[in-house]
Amino acid sequence: MNSVEAKTRIEELSQTLWQHNYNYYILSQPSISDFEFDHLLKELEKLEAQFPEFALPNSPTQQVGGDITKNFSQVKHKYPMLSLGNTYSQEEIQEVDDRIRKSIGDEFEYVCELKFDGLAISITYENGKLLRAVTRGDGVQGDDVTANVKTIRSIPQQLIGNFPPLFDIRGEIFMHRKTFERLNNELKKELLEQGVDEDKIPERLYKNPRNFASGSLKMQDSKEVAKRSLDAFLYFVYTDENLCNTHAESLKLAESWGFKVSDHFRICKNITEVMVFIKQYDIERSKLSYEIDGVVIKVNEYRHQKELGFTAKVPRWAISYKYKAETAISKLLKVSYQVGRTGAITPVANLVPVQLAGTTVKRASLYNADEIERLDLYEHDTVFVEKGGEIIPKITGVDSSKRDLFAQKIAYITHCPECKTELIRKEGEAIHYCPNDSHCPPQLIGRMEHFISRRAMNIEGLGSETVAGLFHKGLIKSYADLFELSYEQLNGVEFELEEDAEGKKKKRSIKEKGAENIIKGIEASKAIPFERVLFALGIRMIGETVAKKLAQHFGTIEKIIAATAQEIAEVHEIGEKIAENLTRFFADEENVNLVMRLKEYGLCMEVVYDPNETRSSVLEGQTFLVSGTFSMSRDELKKLIERNGGKNVGSISKSLNYLIAGDKMGPEKLKKASDLNIKMISEEDFMNMISA
Ligand code: IVH
């Protein structure tokens, strides 16, 4: 490489690495793997060593990384938070060992620990009380996240035993895999219940537990953090005076003060024992309830650590060995296609079963048609499967040299595998859809799941799996059918659950108590107010807020069904798209019939006004005159005034407080109001007054 090329490449690499640092530390959304990052960083380090004159002053090789965010106060670390040198190769570990031996001789031990994949935290304890918790930040100073850290149960707020009066302890905050899956699903469900389109929600809102943990710790509301069930392992004690002689002893001491210290550490006498530890956990790591991304190897004796010291950035007495994302080779059996609850199609690769990261992998996601194209996938291809930060395995490549001579290229399906309707692909989108939302089985089940959900009809005793089971048993085809179910029909029903990730189907049955609860839950749902029933219907784009607005404006389901798209679009803040979806839904006679059946079963299909209901008293003592036309009827508006403590009057006088001016207000009224200096407000101003 000549010097011009080197200069260009150094600048290019620096730019790229800055961006990835930002993605990683600030956004908590890395776009490349650690392995790729380290690879780029090493390339830059090498070039800078060769051409030091081109190294940029704030080169990524000079940084420890940074996760400082603007919403927390900054605290300087008493002991800088350094990172560790890392390697993916056992030869390099051997080289480090050689160097250490040259420097301090052979009389020492290593401690091997797991490298927890979370985020580093430094916690200061004063007289046994948790004083402050700070993130790593740029290594010199970090974010004060004390309030959030105090919500983590495994981090003691008060120590026990014989602890020093002031010390720092370092560790890793992380999220267990199970918690990650549960919270991701809950978050997704919540978004769905809020009316967000499923195809707008990624399969996993957070890519992996590390990102989720990091995102959680940076939340402003500690109450929310507490819900994230974070956990922590502590692994390094910093004190001014000597407490003990070795790192392993310090871990035992920390444990005796009440800290959670991982059991998975081992004193190793030599590098062979270190390698055994590395190998052992490469196999066992998939069985841990949390993710690790490597092993940290530390010289055990403090006096040796002191002797070895530090380079500019990292200690010479410790290094981390990082595991590569695990890959396996398998063969494609066939591509199958799953239909999601909104009709989105996901292609899935069915593979010859292969062991990967402790589990048997039989399938891998292919995401969409573009991905199949990108992989250039053919029938029976030999494929590379990888399990990286994400939990679902993916195909990273194809070994085309092993391809059968007559193998056909994978052709994407044109029709829905469930209902045979021709698929559509919206312009600019990668996903194919089945447009048959009223008859395609998974879409019907999806609508029923939404119908029974907590924010919609909140039918207790009935869950998604049961709904799907009842559908497959032929007991229900639509949400209206729920209201015809009897205890006798439900009691003793046995059904199969959908296939899990491993392709296994489990059985479930409804017993007496379960049947009783379902019937009770269905009956209780008849008290759910109209706006939630409207939301429960699962009409595209009709989320909770829109349903509320529509219910308030039109008052009854009949008026909504009869409304034109234009009338709907004119309702405050409801646009044409929503109006179009709504009218399209009710243009289908089957949907109208369904809704009418629901009404017959006793569901609430109109707004019930309680004459005594006061929603608030924000308008107490104020008089209003309503004039002109509005997005809601004048009566509706007057009701809103009354329900918020205001008083309606029929004419303009000096004592009038507000004139709510709509469209087409008479000119005389306008003149009189301005002559008398009456405050004139718009419908929007008024809505703001009552929602403040
Ligand atoms: S010791 C000076 N031990 O890895 C030594 N670090 O790349 C300080 N980490 O920032 C670190 N598990 O966030 C240490 N058992 C362990 C660890 C560990 C995970 C993280 C830590 C650190 C990073 C270094």
- At residue 501, does pLDDT exceed 60? no
| Residue 589 amino acid letter | E
Type of residue at 207: K
CA distance 390 to 480: 39
Give dist(CA 109, CA 268) in Å, integer: 6
pLDDT interval class at 135 (50, 70, 90): very high
Atom 16 of ligand 1, nearest CA residue? 115
Closest ligand 1 atom to 320 CA? 7
Using 50, 70 and 90 to split pLDDT, how confident is the model at 507?
A: confident
Given a cut of 70, is residue 603 above it in pLDDT? Answer: yes
Q: Give the chain's count of helices (H) and strands (E).
A: 24, 24
CATH code for 332-434? 2.40.50.140
Please report the pLDDT score of residue 69 as a whole number: 47
pLDDT band at 68 (very low <50, low <70, confident <90, very high): very low
Average pLDDT over residues 461-479: 92
What is the Å distance from ligand 1's center to 614 Cα? 58
Long-range contacts for 600-604 (Cβ within 8 Å, ≥24 apart)? 601/480, 601/483, 601/484, 601/526, 602/526, 603/483, 603/525, 603/526, 603/528, 603/533, 604/526, 604/527, 604/528, 604/529, 604/530, 604/533
Q: Compute the distance from residue 685 Cα to the ligand 1 centre, in Å.
A: 55
Cα of 225 vs centre of ligand 1, distance in Å, is 23
pLDDT surpasses 50 at 70: no
Beta strands, E only, 394-435: 394-398, 424-425, 432-433
Q: CB of 372 within 8 A of CB of 347?
A: yes
| Element spanning 685, H or E | helix 683-691
> What is the CB neighbour count within 10 angstroms for residue 7?
15
Question: What's the whole-number mean pLDDT along residues 263-272?
Answer: 96
Tell whether the model's pLDDT for residue 223 goes beyond 60: yes
Task: For residue range 77-113, list pLDDT tens digits in order.
Answer: 999 998 899 998 999 999 999 999 999 999 999 999 9
Mutational test site, ligand 1, from 110, 233, 296, 317, max ligand atoms within 8 Å of CB? 296
pLDDT value at 607 more than 60: yes
**Is residue 93 a contact partner of residue 274, using CB atoms and an 8 Å limit?**
yes
Q: The tokens of 677 are what?
A: 């200096």
Q: How far apart are CA 352 and CA 338, in angstroms?
A: 19
143-163 exposure pattern, b = at least 16 Cβ within 10 A, e = fewer = bbbbebbebbeebbeebeeeb
Closest residue by Cα to atom 21, ligand 1, is 120
Give tens-digit pLDDT for 356-365.
866 788 999 8
**Which pair of tokens denotes residue 581?**
């979806």
Q: Is 210 in the pocket of ligand 1 (CB under 6 A)?
A: no
User: Residue range 459-482: average pLDDT?
Assistant: 92
Task: Report the C-alpha gap between 522 and 461 in whole angstroms.
Answer: 9
116 lines ligand 1 (CB under 6 A): yes
pLDDT band, residue 241 (cuts 50/70/90): confident
Query: Do 220 and 274 touch, CB atoms closer than 8 A?
Result: no
Domains 76-322 and 530-600 share a fold: no
Specify the higher pLDDT residue, 481 or 22.
481
What average pLDDT score do residues 556-572 get? 91
Q: What is the mean pLDDT of the chain?
A: 88
Q: Which fold has domain 441-527?
A: DNA polymerase; domain 1 (1.10.150)
Does the domain at residues 3-64 carry the CATH identifier 3.40.640.10? no
Handedness of CA 330, 336, 337, 340 (dihedral sign): negative
Please give the backbone phi and psi of residue 418, each rounded to the nearest 5 degrees, phi first.
-95, -40
Separation between Cα atoms, residue 570 and residue 591, nearest integer Å? 23
Amino acid (1-letter code) at residue 101? R
Q: Output 191 or 258, whichever has higher pLDDT.
A: 258
Helix (H, G, I), strand (E, B) or coil at 174: strand
Residue with tokens 């720092």: 168
Residue 614 pLDDT: 65
Note whether 331 and 352 are within 8 A (CB).
Answer: yes
| Tokens at 314, concatenated | 């990292």
Averaged pLDDT for residues 160-164: 91
- Amino acid at position 445, single letter: I
Domain ranges of the chain: 3-64, 76-322, 332-434, 441-527, 530-600, 623-691
Between 342 and 418, the higher pLDDT residue: 418
Q: What is the domain class of 623-691 according to CATH?
A: alpha beta
Q: Which residues are catalytic?
A: 115
Interatomic CA distance for residues 333 and 362, integer angstroms: 10
How many residues belong to the chain? 692
Token pair for 571: 């309702």
DSSP state of 407: P
Nearest atom, ligand 1, residue 115 CA: 12
| Closest C-alpha residue for ligand 1 atom 13 | 120
How much is the pLDDT for 198?
A: 57
Whether residue 130 is predicted with pLDDT greater than 50 in this model: the reply is yes
Instruction: Check the CA dihedral 369-373-379-383 and report its sign.
Output: negative
Q: How far, in Å, CA of 642 to CA of 624, rounded?
A: 10
Q: Which CATH superfamily, name and number, covers 76-322?
A: DNA ligase/mRNA capping enzyme (3.30.470.30)
What are 414-437's pLDDT values in tens digits? 999 999 999 999 777 788 999 998
Mean pLDDT across the stretch 370-377?
94
Say which CATH architecture domain 530-600 belongs to.
Answer: Orthogonal Bundle (1.10)
Is pLDDT above 50 for 45? yes
In angstroms, rounded to a whole number, what is the distance separating the alpha carbons of residues 530 and 617? 24
The DSSP code for 109 is -
